[in-house]
């Protein structure tokens, strides 16, 4: 049994990054649809020109694992790939990034997950077209989980027919081994709503959401609000020790049982926002591990790292080391309030 600081669980993909100006960003005319406030429109039947194309690696579990390893944590990843050349290239990439890959499984005759990411607008916000591939049919094996003894679990999006079973397996393992857990739930988990997630939330140390996800989760319990303070306090009351909510260019917020913290985004030029959420969440958790739960410093570190990721193309290219992050916090005079 291997002892590691962090085990990440979730998706792994190859990402095709595309940039275009051939679109229109619209406000959703349905004001009641608070989770889809902006829409991207393309001309029907048109050929859309891409200004640039890049191939990068992505996926919640692999993004978080590469980041945590880069921050100095001994990190393993549990994900499922196909048996194509992309899978073996991805394993080599992770190995080069010092991520432990022995828990990766391979779907026979399957294809590794693939995403087309369309970046648009002046801030290069994006829409992701996903082919989940082997990610979709991943079934977590209890025997494989027991091969490692992690201090923390970092759980990202789970999908497919085994998603709910995988969730039960993860939390049973967490309870049995008394492992600290951070959770960045995906769409399929959030669609279960408060009623479907409440039995897990009480066991979560850090819950990581963006604002739209927090709104959606609150709405599932009949609470309609876009107010950050109310969202934080409502979701915290459901069980997580620490709740984080990111709000894009407005920064991020954290609430524990003592106080609410907030930090602004840096004044930087965004090239690509893909992976910013993964960088934020995994840096915040890594910060808690490295600083023994210094929330202010961990939040500042998460803001810096995620804001440097968006200055590079790809979810992993802009990731910073822990010493570099500490230098950048001072350079940008970042203040957490």
Query: What's 87's domain CATH number?
Result: 3.40.1190.20
Q: Is 296 exposed, middle or buried (0-12, 13-18, 19+ CB in 10 A)?
A: middle
- Would the pLDDT of 52 be above 90? no
Residue 122 pLDDT? 67
pLDDT digits (tens, 9 = 90+) for 10-37: 999 999 988 888 888 888 988 888 778 8
Q: Which domain holds residue 184?
A: 2-12+59-113+133-331
For the segment 251-268, the average pLDDT, to the nearest whole number, is 95
Domain-located, residue 287: yes
Rounded to 5 degrees, φ, ψ at 152 are -130, 145
214 belongs to a structural domain: yes
Closest by CA to 132, choosing from 241, 58, 218, is 58
Is residue 40 a part of any domain in this protein? no
**Centroid of chain to Cα 327:** 24
Does 262 fall in a domain?
yes
CB 71, CB 322: distance < 8 Å: yes
Q: Is residue 17 part of a domain?
A: no
pLDDT digits (tens, 9 = 90+) for 77-123: 999 999 999 999 999 999 999 999 999 999 998 999 999 988 787 66
Residue 216, number of CB atoms within 10 A of its CB: 17
Q: Is the pLDDT of residue 274 over 90?
A: no
Q: What integer pLDDT is reported at residue 279 of this predicted model?
A: 98
Share above pLDDT 70 across residues of the chain, in percent, rounded to a whole number: 99
What is d(CA 127, CA 111) in angstroms, rounded to the nearest whole number? 22
Please check whether residue 304 lies inside any domain of the structure. yes
- Burial bucket for residue 62 (CB in 10 Å: 0-12, 13-18, 19+): buried
Which residues, including other chains, have CB under 8 Å from residue 11's CB and lie 6 or more apart? 59, 60, 61, 62, 79, 113, 132, 135, 156, 157, 159
Which are the contacts of 64, defined by CB distance < 8 A and separation ≥ 6? 8, 10, 154, 156, 184, 278, 281, 282
| pTM exceeds 0.75 for this model | yes
Residue 175 resides in a domain = yes
Give how many domains the chain has, as a whole number: 1
Q: Identify whether 223 is part of a domain.
A: yes
Mean pLDDT for the chain overall: 94
Cα–Cα distance for residue pair 80/139, rounded to 1 Å: 9
Q: What is the pLDDT of residue 125?
A: 73
209-232: per-residue pLDDT in tens?
Answer: 999 999 999 999 999 999 999 999
Q: Which residues have CB under 8 Å from 235's CB, separation 6+?
A: 207, 209, 214, 217, 218, 243
Q: Give the model's pLDDT for residue 94.
A: 98
Longest dimension (CA), the chain: 56
pLDDT of amino acid 123: 61
């Amino acid at each position: 049994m291997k002892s590691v600081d962090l085990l990440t669980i979730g998706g792994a993909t190859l990402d095709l990054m595309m940039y275009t100006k051939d679109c229109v960003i619209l406000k959703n005319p349905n004001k009641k649809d608070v989770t889809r406030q902006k829409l991207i429109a393309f001309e029907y039947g048109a050929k859309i020109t891409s200004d640039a194309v890049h191939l990068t690696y992505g996926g919640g579990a692999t993004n978080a694992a590469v980041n945590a390893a880069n921050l100095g944590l001994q990190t393993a990843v549990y994900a499922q790939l196909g048996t194509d050349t992309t899978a073996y290239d991805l394993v080599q990439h992770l190995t080069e990034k010092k991520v432990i890959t022995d828990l990766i499984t391979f779907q026979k005759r399957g294809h590794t997950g693939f995403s087309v990411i369309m970046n648009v607008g002046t801030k290069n916000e994006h829409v992701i077209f996903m082919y989940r591939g082997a990610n979709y049919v991943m079934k977590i094996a209890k025997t494989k989980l027991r091969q490692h003894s992690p201090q923390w679990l970092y759980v990202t999006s789970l999908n497919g027919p085994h998603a709910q079973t995988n969730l039960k397996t993860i939390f049973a393992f967490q309870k049995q081994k008394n492992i600290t857990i951070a959770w960045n739930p995906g769409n399929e988990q959030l669609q279960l709503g408060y009623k479907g997630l409440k039995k897990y939330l009480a066991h979560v140390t850090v819950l990581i959401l963006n604002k739209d996800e927090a709104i959606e989760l609150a709405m599932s319990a009949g609470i309609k609000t876009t107010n950050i303070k109310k969202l934080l306090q409502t979701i915290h009351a459901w069980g997580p020790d620490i709740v984080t909510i990111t709000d894009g260019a407005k920064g991020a917020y954290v609430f524990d049982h003592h106080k609410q913290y907030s930090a602004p985004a840096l004044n930087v030029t965004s090239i690509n926002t893909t992976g910013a959420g993964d960088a934020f969440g995994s840096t915040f958790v890594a910060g808690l591990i490295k600083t023994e739960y210094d929330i202010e410093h961990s939040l500042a570190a998460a803001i810096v790292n995620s804001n440097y990721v968006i200055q590079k193309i790809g979810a992993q290219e802009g990731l910073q080391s822990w010493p570099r992050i500490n230098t950048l916090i001072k350079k940008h005079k970042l203040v957490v309030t």
